[in-house]
Structure 1
Amino acid sequence: MEYKLPIKEGYLPVKQARRRMSMDIELKVKEEIERLLKAGFIRPDIYVDWLANIVPVLKRKTEAVRICVDYRNLNEASPKDAYPMPMADMLVDGAAHNQMLSFMDGNAGYN
């Protein structure tokens, strides 16, 4: 399946300059990326128009690294959704008369 992102007219693709990080953080980021590759959550892309930086977030208690991506340039170039997502309270209230309500917490908060 292929999905094409809509981009506002007049915006050109942005390839962000590489963000520097310390060697110990970089090793943790590489380990996390390898784990995500093996799990099939991510895959390599060779010919990219938009290139965004990895932003490592260190969890203080566990010393684990959570990988985030800096999509600010892409978000600015994307048209706003005409149908925004409803508030979480409204979704929960709408499910009030059902027998079961399930919340799913993805691995590392982003899957």
Structure 2
Amino acid sequence: PGAAPVARAPYRLAPSEMKELLEQLQELSDKGFIRPSSSPWEAPVLFVKKKDGSFRMCIDYRELNKLTVKNRYPLPRIDDLFDQLQGSSIYSKIDLRLGYHQLRVREQDIPKTAFRTRYGYYEFQVMPFGLTNAPAVFMDLMNRVRGIHVDPAKIKSIKDWASLKTPTEIRQFLGLVGYYRRFIKGFSKIAKSMTKLTQKAIKFD
């Protein structure tokens, strides 16, 4: 906030990259992802080759990122993700098409995304690749859209639990299901009748 605009000169691109740039600018413009700009902010364009041989247009926002207040939303740790794969033998992945481009940039922040090319000066109306807060914002959205769920395999033993017959068995059961109380709205109210049965003054039939 309050930082002076930063402008960097465009990078030199190979002829093949210039051709790719023109095509991608046209596509982004046709989709309404970018628009002409007159912003004092300016970042250069570069290309990253993807595994399938195609090119991803990226904007070098390093100078802008230095001035950005960081979003501290927690991202998954790589080692935690690998721990979840333990024991698996079949792996797959889902590539959410143009995931970042499904998020709109706030109108007052759009000028900060400006980039200059040989073919014109543009700014993003949707979230581009390269912004320091993009991964955190996207992860936050995915968690809010999908929510946080319990692995069905983890609660199978609870669902298959035999009928409780003693106060001790009730305490054991409540201790187990209590671990998942953050996933259960109104847990205390739901478990109230069972909790009462653990009290000495209450007769258990």
Shorter-normalised TM range: 0.5 to 0.7
- Normalising by structure 2, report the TM-score: 0.37
Q: Does 1:26 align with 2:18?
A: yes
Larger Rg: 2
Say whether the 8 Å CA contact 2:48–2:58 is kept in structure 1.
yes
| Matches of 1:76 and 1:69, distance apart in 2 | 14
1:86 is aligned, of 66, 74, 87, to 74
CA RMSD of aligned residues (A): 2.4
Say whether the 8 Å CA contact 1:32–1:65 is kept in structure 2.
no
Deviation at 1:33?
Answer: 1.1
| Correspondence for 1:110 | 100
1:69 is aligned, of 56, 59, 63, to 59
| Matches of 2:21 and 2:65, distance apart in 1 | 24
Deviation at 1:60?
Answer: 4.8
List runs of 5+ in structure 2 lacking aligned partners.
Answer: 78-93, 102-205
Deviations 1:35-90 (A, max 9, x none): 11111111121x2121011111122533x221111111111112234xx113348x
Deviation at 1:26?
Answer: 0.9
| Correspondence for 2:148 | none
Say whether the 8 Å CA contact 2:13–2:46 is kept in structure 1.
no
Say whether the 8 Å CA contact 2:47–2:55 is kept in structure 1.
yes
Structure with the higher helix share, 1 or 2: 2
* Higher RCO, Cα 8 Å, sep 6+: 1
List runs of 5+ in structure 1 lacking aligned partners.
Answer: 1-6, 90-102
Deviation beyond 4 Å, 4+ runs, structure 1: none
2:45 is aligned, of 54, 77, 86, to 54
| Correspondence for 1:96 | none
| Matches of 2:22 and 2:64, distance apart in 1 | 24
| Matches of 2:44 and 2:95, distance apart in 1 | 27
* Number of residue-to-residue matches in the alignment: 86
